[in-house]
């Protein structure tokens, strides 16, 4: 496998955007079947260029025009924004207050750094196979709620390329949600509250909401292997004192008993069993600990703001070189962030085919050129593009079934 060197990006990006980036399905996605007049033309794109030059309010008449601009500027990062009332590139010519964000996918951003207070294995931007379980749990919990509680159909989950995941909710009715509706949705999905100074971040009240019960079912399935074995959260005094600090003040005697007896137990599993026995009459104590250590931690501001930008699928992470690839929910447990191809790996795979016909032969012309499709298929990006194409096919099928009737997602918070 070709090692990634961040300094090589200026040389690799032109090849990636010219011959590998899946512009065909990408354009189909953002067109949404020409759902309304000038829908694509009113979409904001932003590019982060070499030397951290940040260019906002880019907009294009067609996906082909977007493709040409990306190939010309070779952005280090592509962000996707809202669909505005006017073309974003003309925002300076519009009367103040008239330029408004009107629609955007409901998006979720889950970053591993937000779990630093409960991770034993890694810190900051570092991740490993042990703590990646947190992302798997987050996807399972949020995705179940989106489908079963909100009635949402079209969710695209994407690996960020480094230490987290993004979700794009693409249902027609959801893209029209107001900031108020988005805020209500993310509040419904938020349980872990408080900053670094807050010790106890999960407080449950009676009766336990069905969403929390469903989430606990997911967490309980993975808790022993992830938290007790992998993270060893009760493995030593420093670790278990953090857990015991979550035992409520009104049963302080339980905390003192646990502190006294924990040192006599051999490992995290034995200590957790003892804790469960001692808190049997107050099972919320166990649940609050489990949820604080395992429940999804969403970036609320990313989700509630219609005009908030989010990194595009198939963008390259400039530090790791990994591609932001769609995640196959049917194979979620086997998804490995370290197996995601880097841009250098993809270019090396293409180079090995010995089939570089040059720019003119391959790229003057049509968005869906057979040369481009063959080039992408020569690389390990193929399975991820297939996941993306399946997602688009499901959206197309749903659109045909629902047309001409309109459907609204019912919400019950």
Instruction: Give 315's DSSP letter.
Output: P
Active-site residues, by number, are 44, 109, 111
Three-class secondary structure of residue 311 per DSSP: strand
Task: Output the six-digit token pair for 70.
Answer: 């990306």
CA distances from 255 to 250, 275, 279, 303 (A): 10, 9, 10, 38
**Cβ density class 74-88: b for 16+ within 10 Å, e for less:** bbbbbbbbbbbebbb
Q: Give the number of C-alpha atoms closer than 13 A to the C-alpha of residue 168, restricted to the C-beta side.
A: 29
Helices (H), 176-311: 179-188, 210-223, 237-244, 252-262, 268-278, 284-294, 300-304
The burial of 357, by beta-carbon neighbours within 10 Å (0-12 exposed, 13-18 middle, 19 or more buried), is given as exposed
Q: Residue 111 pairs with which residues in a beta bridge? A: 164
- Please give the helix or strand (H or E) that residue 361 lies within, else none: helix 359-363
């Amino acid at each position: 496998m070709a090692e990634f060197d961040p300094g090589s990006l200026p040389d690799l990006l032109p090849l990636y955007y010219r011959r590998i980036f899946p512009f065909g399905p990408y354009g189909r996605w953002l067109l949404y079947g020409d759902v309304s007049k000038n829908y694509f033309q009113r979409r904001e794109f932003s590019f982060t260029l070499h030397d951290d030059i940040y260019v906002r309010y880019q907009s294009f008449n067609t996906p082909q025009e977007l493709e040409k601009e990306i190939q010309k500027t070779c952005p280090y990062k592509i962000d996707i924004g809202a669909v505005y009332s006017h073309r974003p590139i003309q925002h300076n010519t519009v009367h103040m207050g008239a330029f408004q964000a009107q629609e955007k996918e409901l998006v979720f951003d889950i970053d591993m750094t937000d779990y630093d207070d409960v991770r034993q294995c890694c810190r900051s931007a570092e991740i490993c196979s042990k703590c990646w379980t947190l992302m798997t749990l987050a996807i399972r919990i949020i995705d179940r709620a989106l489908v079963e509680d909100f009635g949402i159909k079209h969710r695209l989950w994407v690996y960020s390329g480094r230490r987290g995941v993004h979700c794009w909710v693409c249902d027609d009715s959801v893209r029209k949600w107001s900031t108020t509706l988005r805020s209500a949705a993310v509040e419904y999905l938020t349980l872990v509250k408080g900053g670094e100074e807050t010790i106890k971040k999960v407080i449950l009240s009676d009766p336990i909401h069905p969403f929390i019960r469903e989430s606990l079912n997911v967490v309980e399935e993975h808790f022993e292997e992830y938290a007790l074995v992998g993270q060893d959260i009760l493995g030593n005094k420093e670790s278990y004192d953090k857990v015991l600090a979550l035992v409520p003040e009104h049963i302080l005697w339980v905390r003192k008993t646990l502190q006294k007896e924990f040192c006599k137990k051999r490992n995290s599993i034995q200590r957790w069993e003892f804790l469960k026995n001692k808190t049997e009459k107050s099972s919320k104590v166990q649940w609050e600990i489990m949820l604080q250590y395992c429940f999804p931690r969403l970036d609320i501001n990313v989700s509630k703001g219609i005009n908030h930008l989010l990194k595009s699928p198939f963008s390259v992470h400039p530090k790791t070189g990994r591609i932001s690839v769609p995640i196959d929910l049917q194979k979620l447990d086997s998804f490995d962030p370290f197996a995601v191809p880097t841009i250098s790996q993809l270019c090396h795979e293409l180079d090995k085919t010995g089939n570089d016909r040059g720019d003119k032969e391959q790229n003057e012309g049509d968005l869906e050129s057979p040369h481009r499709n063959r080039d992408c298929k020569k690389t390990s990006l193929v399975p991820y593009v297939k996941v993306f194409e399946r997602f688009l096919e499901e959206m197309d099928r749903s659109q045909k079934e629902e047309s001409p009737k309109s459907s609204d997602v019912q919400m019950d918070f």
